[in-house]
Structure 1
Amino acid sequence: MCAALVVYFLVLGRTGITLIGTGTPVAVALGIGVLILPVVGVWAMAATLRAGFAHQRLARLAVEAGMELDVSQLPRTPSGRIERDAADALFDMVRAELEADPDNWQRWYRLARAYDYAGDRGRARETMRKAVAMQAESAT
């Protein structure tokens, strides 16, 4: 996927340079706009990869510490997702653990996972960012 994006960015870059090379004002403006897209794309891809690697590191550390959430016994819908009531109960349990130990990055990691299982991806990402920052701070 990343390789395909890199090729796409290169094609966009070449197209932007070609448009600028024509010298007409509209083509130059369009070329500059096209050149901005690969820059934004590379930034987004790098940020996504960086976050993914950080999340994988936290997952590995949580497993090593025995802190990964075990959802294997929770009831599932036919599509394989955890049933809403079970996910909500899991979330309540994990939130109570966090309230008892709010300075532990592993508790924040578990809360992020619980948000994800409950279907709240936005809060899951936000909470995972906090867990990553806390873990990095505790490692120094």
Structure 2
Amino acid sequence: MKNRIAAIVMAAILAIYLVLVFQRAVMLMATGVPIAIGMGVALLVLPLIAAWAIGRELLFGARTEKLVKLLDAEGGLPVENLPHRASGRPLRDAADEDFPRYKAEVESEPQSWRAWFRLGLAYDASGDRRRARSALHESIRLFRADERTQH
């Protein structure tokens, strides 16, 4: 819940920022000076790219949260029994010991969104955020494909 509130606050701050930047961009373009027009266009494009990226992250978070709820309801989330650092992150060595089990599950069921999701959690616990996100994206893709075939 804390992460959701933080994401909403950041999105609201971004929205305020976009409105202010948009105003400045329009003011610059209205001057008619070529350099000011170029700066105004840049002020329009760059925040739009940022808004798109934030939107993708929020969508990723919402989809991931949906899958967590589904797995939790099924009793399919991994049991969190790893020792943790003071920061709350699992100890990497302990997480690495659990990792082969989740990798083997994906290898035996490559079309299972559940297996990919658990693998993503295992990557995250091991500190490999890039692979964790990749596995979670694959899990979301497989889940959405399952939804389409069921309807």
CA distance in 2, matches of 1:98, 1:42: 34
How much has 1:47 moved relative to structure 2?
0.8
Task: Give, in whole Å, the separation in 2 of the partners of 1:44 and 1:79.
Answer: 28
Q: Which residue of 2 aligns with 1:55?
A: 64
Residue number in structure 2 paired with 1:109: 117
Q: Distance in 1 between matches of 2:74 and 2:59?
A: 23
User: 1:14 Cα deviation (Å)?
Assistant: 0.6
Aligned residues: 139
Q: Secondary structure at the match of 1:28?
A: helix
Alignment match, 1:33? 42
Structure 2, unaligned stretches of length 5 or more?
Answer: 1-9
TM-score (norm. length: structure 2) = 0.87
Provide the residue aligned with 2:126 in structure 1: 118
Q: TM-score, normalised by structure 1?
A: 0.94
Deviates more, 1:30-39 or 1:105-114: 30-39
Deviation at 1:57, TM superposition (A): 0.7
Q: Secondary structure at the match of 1:75?
A: coil
Identity of aligned residues (%): 35
Matches within 5 A, 1:60-99: 60-71=69-80, 73-99=81-107
Letter in 2 for 1:48: E
**Cα-Cα RMSD:** 1.1
Q: Choose from 45, 48, 53 the match for 1:44.
A: 53
Letter in 1 for 2:14: L
Partner of 2:7: none
